[in-house]
Amino acid sequence: MKTILVLIGGGNRDKVISRTALAAAVPLSAHLDFLHVHVSAGIAAQYDDQVQFAMGAGIHNALDNLETKAKTFSEVAADHVRAFCAASKIELRDTPTNGKNVTASFREENDTTIERLILHARQSDLVVLGRAKQTQGLSPDTLENLVRNCGRPVLLAATAAPQKLTGTVMVCWKKSDNVARAVAAAMPILTKAKRVVFTSVAKGKAGDAEAVHDFARQIANNGIAAEVQVIPANVGGVSGSLSAAAEACRADLVVMGGYGHSRFRELIFGSCTEALIHDADRPILLMH
């Protein structure tokens, strides 16, 4: 992981997102590519309740307000990146270096589509963003679209900024392709972690416990001495059990496969990914 795309909005979550990205970049000597999307009033209006329910002159006023907010977000985002880099002693430069120091760059794009965001993500090794509902005019399903379609790991910031991500890493394990991809994507971080815990929620299926132990033995070839815990599902279901396990082991980072089922199935039965994002207030690395 040498290039980390950091989506910065110009809001009060910028500092936590930036510090989460830095926690990932430091052990990897990576380059932080800060990107702010300036969303025009016409685009932002598609997701703004005030515009959708406005009438007459109210529509014009609501659009003016969105345009003012967009300009402010852009100015604040640039200020936040400059201040963060200055405080963290990070060199702002257009391109990464091959040195051992973290570097950063900042750019802004107008009305970037989700397809273009996915393209930017594919050109990076890791994507970092907040998990809260988008307030800067982007589509509310931006996070899910990125995870499902970019083919890169996506790191979600928690409420508080982490000091590190390489202390204890908890991997939410089950027999599935997206979990295997998540482990592979997180390997640069796992190899530097002090403690790795593979946690599986028992569902009564024969061979599940044996399978997670087998997987832990396999990654030992990469120098990772992983612990294994198979836990019962509690009243909060799978996501509640995993959230409690992450709290119990004081995980600095949670790794999991994201959105393992179709959107239709998750709409009907609910999404474990969305539930864990809601329940576990810790940095979460997702891979579809």
* Residue-wise pLDDT tens digits, 178-233: 888 999 999 999 999 999 999 988 876 555 677 888 888 888 888 888 899 988 87
Higher pLDDT, 126 or 204: 126
Domains detected in the chain = 3-156 (3.40.50.620), 168-287 (3.40.50.620)
**CB-facing half-sphere around the CA of 84: CA atoms within 13 A:** 27
pLDDT digits (tens, 9 = 90+) for 240-259: 899 999 999 999 999 999 87
Q: Identify the bridge partners of residue 92 per DSSP, sorted by sequence position.
A: 104
Closest by CA position to 261, among listed 185, 176, 165:
176
- Rounded-to-integer distance, Cα 215 and Cα 65, Å: 53
**pTM exceeds 0.85 for this model:** yes
Higher pLDDT, 174 or 253: 253
- Rounded-to-integer distance, Cα 192 and Cα 186, Å: 10
pLDDT of residue 205: 59
